[in-house]
Amino acid sequence: MDSKANAHWEGGLKDGKGSIKTESGVLDAGYSFKQRFEGEKGTNPEELIGAAHASCFSMALSMILGDKGYTADAIDTQATVTLSQSKEGFDISKIHLDVKASVSGADEAAFQEAAETAKANCPVSKVLKAEVTMTAKLKG
């Protein structure tokens, strides 16, 4: 199964602007340097990675709990994505998942084991190990 998203950028880094769209149409937004680095209201790549990671993790945790015979009443996950500057440039240096869940009948040990398994195995957690491929074409 493939999912697609598109990005368009015009102009220089600091004065340019871009737009992002998802194939489903659920996301159609602009982005800019100021939104990413200066706190201007709007989205940025790190926020989108956080949303993807939080939602993927929550679904994975639900599945793992289900495999153990538990049904989650609620799973709320907040992902904090840290963008850091190093001598090589900018890096996503850390993603922290803050999870709060209500799971009837589960004890702390079973929940922690399921959460650790979900953290290690949800597809977005694994993405940093993924093969990155590219097709690049210069129009002109």
Which pLDDT tens digit goes with each residue over 15-71? 999 999 999 999 999 999 999 999 899 899 999 999 999 999 999 999 999 999 999
CA distances for 12 relative to 9, 53, 78, 127, angstroms: 9, 29, 32, 29
Are 27 and 49 contained in the same domain? no
Q: Which two tokens stand for residue 45?
A: 């790549």
Are 38 and 76 contained in the same domain? no
Are 34 and 53 contained in the same domain? no
Residue 133 and residue 61 in contact, taking contact as beta carbons nearer than 8 Å = no
- Answering whether pTM is above 0.75, one says yes
Residue the block writes with tokens 């996950």: 77
What CA–CA distance (Å, rounded) separates 76 from 47? 16
CATH number for 60: 3.30.300.20
Which of 24, 43, 62 is the last residue before a domain boundary?
Answer: 43
The shares of helix, strand and coil residues in the chain, as percent rounded to the nearest 5, are 35, 35, 30
Which residue type, as a one-letter code, is found at position 24?
S
Which residue type, as a one-letter code, is found at position 58?
S
Kind plus residue range of the DSSP H or E element containing 61: helix 45-67
Q: Is residue 123 part of a domain?
A: yes
Q: How many domains does the chain have?
A: 2
User: Using one digit for the tens of pLDDT, what is the confidence trace for 59-92?
Assistant: 999 999 999 999 999 999 999 988 888 898 988 8
Q: Is residue 139 part of a domain?
A: no
Q: Is residue 137 part of a domain?
A: no
Residue 95's domain comprises 45-131
Which residue type, as a one-letter code, is found at position 11?
G
The C-alpha angle 97, 99, 101, rounded to 5 degrees, equals 165
Q: Which two tokens stand for residue 112?
A: 């922690």
